[in-house]
Structure 1
Amino acid sequence: MSATRPSRPGGPAAEPAATPPNVRWTLLGVMLGMLLAMLDNTIVSTSMPTIVGDLGGMEHISWVVTAYALATAVSTPVWGKLGDLYSRKHAFLAAITVFLIGSVASGAAQSMTQLISFRVVQGLGAGGLAALAFALIGSLVSPRERGRYQGMTATVMAIGTVGGPLLGGLITGHLGWRWSFYINLPLGLVTLVWCQVMLRLPVQRTKARIDWLGILLMTVTISAVVLAATWAGTTYAWGSWQIVSLAVVTVLGLTAFIASQKRAVEPVLPLRVFDTGNFRLAGVMVFAAGAAMFGATLYLPLFQQSVQGADATSSGLLLLPMVVPIALVSNIAGKVMSRTGKYKIFPILGAGFLAVGLFLLSTMDTGTSRTVTSFYMVLVGVGLGFLMQMTTTIAQNSVEMRDMGVASAGVTLFRTIGGSLGVAVFGSLFTRATEHHLPSAASGNADASLSGSAVDRLPQGAKDAYLTAVADGTQQIFLVAAAVCLAALLAALAVKEVPLRGKPVAAEPAEQPSAEKARIWR
């Protein structure tokens, strides 16, 4: 018998006892929505030099990324809650629409200020794409069967990670940087129509009020965290009054937010989701995995291009040894989980592989070959494949169906904040390492990604110093990342293997129960 939990009156329908037929076609539209957000970030990053050359405003270039990341992080929990309260399908369609409006406006921007403003709109839409995509998967597929479809999400991640830089370079070189935003329009319209036609969810009606105070306090708190993570160690020193002030705002905002959630009739982030130990442990694991993934995708290409002389024009391909195992391992682990109902071993293996792979990456020096680096990257990819998607399943299985959107958004938020803090800490470590090896006059450019050919043109003394600085900085980054993943390993060991809700794959009925057929869908 399925261990389905009842939902509250007027809330979302109960979790499906069995997966609807042809669900892969439905999920394809949801995956396209996730791909929109993933591709955009990597494509735009590749186009940034050209954008600055056209619009100017070099001093504001960091805000093009920061504004998008901040809007994404702030809006993620709000989208998740709106989906829980009203309609996950309609919230998802609204998120796509907002994202497309921001994309078109960004492509038409005539100044850096306009671009930054429109990137905020884009980020607000992107915040709903990933969180609601996972919530929609949870609405359509029971946890026991969810692993069978993990390969789809892992493949989307792989395409976004590898395809973004390649597509960005191609679009910018042949069509111009504005098409790095306009390209979202055809893909987004296809996604919008596909989901409108194919996505069928039970109707949910509620008269609950929006927790505006909670949204405000959450916005202030998350903004302070993301800004501190973005600026610390780069724009401002860690001990500067700006960073200290943001830390104080974070603490005060978090305290006030928790107090408001205890009193709210329908809190934007119900504290009850944290009552389950598995949800908290999933947050720790995805936080660590987010930091590791962001660090690897940012600094591995830098090391390979600068120290190992790899071609910068195909930077996306440099990550293939890490990205391909993510998709393969996630797919295999998901199918095993669906057939056996067992899942605890996978995050343990994931955290273990991740810690070992990152530690081995921390041993690289100027003499390490690309083959050896690729082998270490495979271990990291295997770890992320076991860990990333499984944490979402664990988190969703630990909450009631009415909180599916909040749980999915929470996991996405933890991953985003983990990545933001990881990049801040890693950037500070890298800067200190390069300053130690390079003269002060050169250290200002130490974190710039010099291509292999540019490094070869340096005088021998400067070349050796630069390569040693990059290698040392990379070593410190991955050593710290490995230590962070040990915390994820401890969290994985503490997970309690609660039976996954839903029926085993072999026991699925051929048809939906009559009561299920009688429900209203739209």
Structure 2
Amino acid sequence: MHTTEKRGTDETLASFSSRDSTLREDATAQRVQKSGLEAPIYLQGLRLHLLTLVINLSFFLVHVEVSVVGTALVAITDDLHGYGRSSWVVTGYLLSYIGFMVIMAKLSDHISRKVVLLGSLATFIIFSGACGAAWTMIQLICLRVFQGLGASGTFSLGIIVQTEMVPRSKYPVYSMILALMTVLSLLLGPIIGGAVSENTTWRWVFLMNVPPGVILLALLTICLPRDFPYMGDTSHTCSLQFRRLDVIGAGLMLVAVTLLITGFEEASDFSPWTSAGVLAPIVVSGVAWILFLVYERHVTPAKRATEPVFPWRFCTSRTIVGLLGNSFILGTIFITLVIQIPLRYQIVGNESPVKAGLRLIAFGAAIPVGSTSSGLLCQKRRVPPIFLFFLASLFTILGLLFMSRVAIDDISWSGLYGLQFVTGVGCGIMMGMVTLLPPFVAEQDDLATCTASVIQFRSLGGALALSLVTAIMNHSIQNSLLPVLGPQKLAQIFLSPQSLNALDEPLRSVVKEVFWKGFNMQLRILLGFAVAQVPATMLMWKWRGKGEGEGKGDGVGGQIVVADLVKGGGDGS
């Protein structure tokens, strides 16, 4: 048995080496040729480099919109006079951004990658301009929903195209580039939003997307082949067949995601957890999720004419379940910290939006370090992937644990940057792994859906966690400060948190202390999510003894079998 385990371990490790990746690509070509099809054709040369640039700059544009509006919200509400609905400027974008990722990916299987990607980017550009021209808060919220729809397709299809345009031996490099663009967009978003708000009209937060977006759209039209990724495969044709679209499944998913985020958003806006505005959307969302899974199981069998938007086989694969779970938890930690770190320095440290945004540099710089390291360790050093999942969890847990114990007197302590860097390395390693693995654990026909699902779960985790920790912190602060300040002063502070600096001492110090403890409470909640990464990773671990079958998504020798690449798995064959 030990011999079998060792052999399985060696095969898994070897699968990540460049030499065996090349062998695997040759084997794939041979099998494809035997089946009567053409060998896969990858992009090369100037077209590859230009398309890589265009896709990653598109990532930056659509991803920066998640964070850039945060520091511009005060200017927006001052102009459009709709503070009570201001949170929906962010939430409306997130709802469509998260809800349509898998749907867009599945639609591209029927139409084509190029058509859906171009349509999505064009939608994002058009409605970015429209958002900049909005004259009422209702108009802006509605336009943001359509802007998020375009962003959803641009981001999910961009990642799918990026994984299909190069051989698997280059995935670690492209995973690192994606992590870098993700970090840059979320890191620079608050800084850009603050600079725009301080120096010009808030409308440029949206209008600045239009000129570069038009250029990227034109370059994408030229660079991306019409029949991508099936160049040379004359047997494959893309056609929209409505009977094959999983309309019911897509609708149930949209309802489930929308209502779940709506319920948590209501809670973050001081609605009691037991109120109808909070409970009703969450309960109905739970029912919609159950119906969605039941229906997807019903339509998954191959004999069905409808192609499921979320194949049931994902739910029966421990590796994919663990992968999606880790992606969800990564989103809860990563996105919440990107918002929380600048906010705590603005409120408690009384810093400007630009200066507070610069506080993210240590955390942001660590993300590509972790992501790059994970890819290199897998490919060059043959480190088992599951060890890197555990290492990512360890770094994240240690960073959050010590960050949550820092007192308000140490707000300027330089060691905080070190703790942020450690946490960022953990998030970067996890981001690199969850981005790298989908092509190795999913069948070829499910690749687009699996890749989009990983992105969607990460974004969903971030949206839900941000609403959750905000709701818990707001209710805690309200309970602590209501007897001290009274309802009017407390309402003014929540309306404009920086107004607490106008309070007299020692009241101002008391209020800042309460806010600081609230932020530390948020970090402890995130710490709980980080600990949950361990059982999520354990789902991907399976010892296999002599005589047990091999399959996609199983674990071997205490590692993740990434489709047994040397043996030819992982490509759908």
TM-score, normalised via structure 1 length: 0.88
Which has the higher Rg, Structure 1 or Structure 2?
2
Note the 1:56-205 alignment, pairs <5 A. 56-200=81-225, 201-203=228-230, 204-205=236-237
Match of residue 445, structure 2, among 402, 409, 418: 402
Tell me the equivalent position of 2:386.
344
Matched residue count: 498
Pair 1:462 & 2:507 matched: yes
What amino acid does structure 2 have at the position aligned with 1:249?
V
CA distance, structure 1, for counterparts of residue 216 and residue 237 of structure 2? 25
Q: CA deviation at 1:422?
A: 0.8
CA distance, structure 1, for counterparts of residue 103 and residue 183 of structure 2? 27
Q: CA deviation at 1:439?
A: 3.0
What amino acid does structure 2 have at the position aligned with 1:391?
V
Pair 1:2 & 2:24 matched: yes
Tell me the equivalent position of 1:303.
344
Tell me the equivalent position of 1:516.
none
Pair 1:424 & 2:467 matched: yes
CA distance, structure 1, for counterparts of residue 38 and residue 193 of structure 2? 42
Q: Larger deviation: 481-490 or 232-241?
A: 232-241
Match of residue 444, structure 1, among 470, 491, 496: 491
What amino acid does structure 2 have at the position aligned with 1:330?
S
What amino acid does structure 2 have at the position aligned with 1:205?
T
Pair 1:242 & 2:289 matched: no
SS in 1 for 2:249: helix
Tell me the equivalent position of 1:511.
none
SS in 1 for 2:406: coil
**1:90-139 deviation line (CA, Å, top 9, x unaligned):** 21111101111111111111211111111111011111122112211221
Larger RCO (CA within 8 A; separation ≥ 6): 1
Q: Does structure 1 retain, via aligned residues, the 8 Å contact 2:263–2:280?
A: no
Alignment CA distance shift 1:358-1:38 (3 Å): same
CA distance, structure 1, for counterparts of residue 262 and residue 313 of structure 2? 28
Q: CA deviation at 1:14?
A: 9.5
Could you tell me the percent identity over the aligned residues? Answer: 24
Alignment CA distance shift 1:317-1:213 (3 Å): same
Tell me the equivalent position of 1:485.
530
What amino acid does structure 2 have at the position aligned with 1:471?
W
Match of residue 326, structure 2, among 269, 272, 285: 285
What amino acid does structure 1 have at the position aligned with 2:491?
G
Tell me the equivalent position of 1:415.
458
Tell me the equivalent position of 1:519.
none
What amino acid does structure 2 have at the position aligned with 1:305?
Q
Alignment CA distance shift 1:338-1:408 (3 Å): same
Alignment CA distance shift 1:289-1:202 (3 Å): closer
Q: CA deviation at 1:162?
A: 2.2
Tell me the equivalent position of 2:406.
364
Name the Cα RMSD after superposition.
2.7
Q: Does structure 1 retain, via aligned residues, the 8 Å contact 2:374–2:432?
A: no
Alignment CA distance shift 1:15-1:308 (3 Å): farther
Tell me the equivalent position of 2:363.
322
What amino acid does structure 1 have at the position aligned with 2:78?
G
Tell me the equivalent position of 1:214.
249
CA distance, structure 1, for counterparts of residue 120 and residue 113 of structure 2? 10
Alignment CA distance shift 1:262-1:439 (3 Å): closer
Q: CA deviation at 1:47?
A: 2.1
SS in 2 for 1:460: coil
Q: CA deviation at 1:493?
A: 4.2
Match of residue 312, structure 2, among 249, 267, 271: 271
Tell me the equivalent position of 2:14.
none
Note the 1:495-506 alignment, pairs <5 A. 495=540, 496=555, 497-499=560-562
Tell me the equivalent position of 1:50.
75
CA distance, structure 2, for counterparts of residue 411 and residue 198 of structure 1? 26
CA distance, structure 2, for counterparts of residue 52 and residue 356 of structure 1? 39
Q: CA deviation at 1:487?
A: 1.0
CA distance, structure 2, for counterparts of residue 357 and residue 17 of structure 1? 44
Q: CA deviation at 1:385?
A: 0.8
Q: CA deviation at 1:458?
A: 2.4
SS in 1 for 2:24: coil
Pair 1:389 & 2:424 matched: no
SS in 1 for 2:359: helix
Q: Does structure 2 retain, via aligned residues, the 8 Å contact 1:333–1:386?
A: yes
Q: CA deviation at 1:146?
A: 0.5
Q: CA deviation at 1:82?
A: 1.2
SS in 1 for 2:124: helix
TM-score, normalised via structure 2 length: 0.81
Alignment CA distance shift 1:18-1:92 (3 Å): closer
Pair 1:435 & 2:478 matched: yes
Tell me the equivalent position of 2:419.
376
What amino acid does structure 1 have at the position aligned with 2:263?
A
Q: Does structure 1 retain, via aligned residues, the 8 Å contact 2:321–2:539?
A: no
Structure 2 spans left out of the alignment, 5+ residues: 1-22, 231-235, 300-305, 541-554, 567-573
Q: CA deviation at 1:189?
A: 1.4
Q: Does structure 2 retain, via aligned residues, the 8 Å contact 1:84–1:406?
A: no
CA distance, structure 2, for counterparts of residue 235 and residue 277 of structure 1? 38
Alignment CA distance shift 1:14-1:426 (3 Å): farther
Structure 1 spans left out of the alignment, 5+ residues: 504-522
